[in-house]
Amino acid sequence: MLIRLFCYIGACLLPAVAWAQYGVGYAEKGVISYYPNKFKRITASGETFDSEALVAGHKKIPFNSLVRITNLNNGKTVVVRVNDRGPYAYGRIMDISEGAARKIDLLATGTAKAEIEVISDGSNSSAKDEPKEKEPKENPKITSSNEANFVTGKTYSRWATQKFPKGYTHQVGSFNELARAIEHCQILENRGFKNEKIFIYVDWVKYQKLYKVFVGEFALQTEGESLKQRLKLTLGNGSVWTRQHITD
């Protein structure tokens, strides 16, 4: 009877031991890879896979754990949330989304030697709690160095984080100075559009950069009508027009 009791207790403790083994502080080095953009399915956690979300698959780390990944080839890091299992290719320790791969320059090589470390066990996380970049509370100071981070033909947040919006949007301004475009973004936030997606697209017109401010991201043009009316009331009828997002 006593032996059976010990066996029962041991069996109950196994999941907790496994959880602790792959909890906060767990680190591993090995080869990582990324899911291709066309890879669409339901993940092992039950979520729909999103190639632009900062998510990853690991064989053992608990779902919703946050993991810091360091690309050992260039030192770049990204924090991802585990929402899938795998990889099942021999010798690989983690698969990450295309969005996460882009942050650490993994797209060109496809695989890389990396170090992963669990920084949160996910006990207080959910599918909505994606890793987010820290943004300063104050408006960024414009200098020649960070102005160079806004590359012609690409779309950014006002913090110089590259974005990849699709579908339709509303253009609400065009400026030949980055400082004015960023100021316009902040004005929009202060006037009640803080929860909307606000972008800066860098164009090239008549041999100079133009910084175009877009608000919103809609699959269909009609989906943005209510936002368009709000923008018109705030900025004036002639200041808002709907267009498609410009992609590479």
Query: What CATH number should be reported for the domain holding residue 202?
Result: 3.30.70.1070
Q: Is there a single domain that holds both residue 107 and residue 157?
A: no
- 176 in a structural domain: yes
Q: Is there a single domain that holds both residue 172 and residue 217?
A: yes
Q: Tell me what the mean pLDDT of segment 83-112 comes to.
A: 88
Measured between alpha carbons, how far is 109 from 76 in angstroms, rounded to an integer? 14
Q: Which of 120, 152, 181 is the last residue of a domain?
A: 120
- 200 in a structural domain: yes
Q: Is there a single domain that holds both residue 217 and residue 159?
A: yes
Q: 91 in helix, strand or coil? A: coil
pTM value?
0.48
Measured between alpha carbons, how far is 88 from 219 in angstroms, rounded to an integer? 34
Q: How many domains does the chain have?
A: 2
- 201 in a structural domain: yes
Q: Is there a single domain that holds both residue 151 and residue 110?
A: no
Closest CA to 135 of 203, 194, 181, 66: 194
> What Å distances lie between residue 140 and 103, 143, 185, CA to CA?
21, 9, 12
Q: Give the residue, 135 or 37, on which the prediction is more confident.
A: 37
Whole-number pLDDT of residue 140:
52
Q: Tell me what the mean pLDDT of segment 21-25 comes to.
A: 87
Q: Which of 120, 153, 180 is the last residue of a domain?
A: 120
Q: Is there a single domain that holds both residue 158 and residue 85?
A: no
Q: Is there a single domain that holds both residue 185 and residue 148?
A: yes
Q: Is there a single domain that holds both residue 103 and residue 181?
A: no
Tell me the per-residue pLDDT of 64-81, one tens digit each, with 9 for 90 and over: 999 999 999 888 889 999
Whole-number pLDDT of residue 16:
46
Tell me the per-residue pLDDT of 99-132, one tens digit each, with 9 for 90 and over: 898 889 888 788 899 999 998 886 655 544 556 5
Q: Is there a single domain that holds both residue 110 and residue 161?
A: no
Q: Which of 67, 86, 120 is the last residue of a domain?
A: 120
Based on DSSP, count helices (H) and strands (E) in the chain, helices before strands: 5, 12
CATH code, domain carrying 50: 2.40.40.10
Tell me the per-residue pLDDT of 150-206, one tens digit each, with 9 for 90 and over: 888 999 998 888 899 999 999 998 888 888 899 899 889 888 888 899 999 999 887
Expressed as residue numbers, the domain containing 216 is 144-244
Q: Is there a single domain that holds both residue 160 and residue 234?
A: yes
Taking phi over 0 as left and psi of -120 to 50 as alpha, with beta for the rest, 138 belongs to beta
- 76 in a structural domain: yes
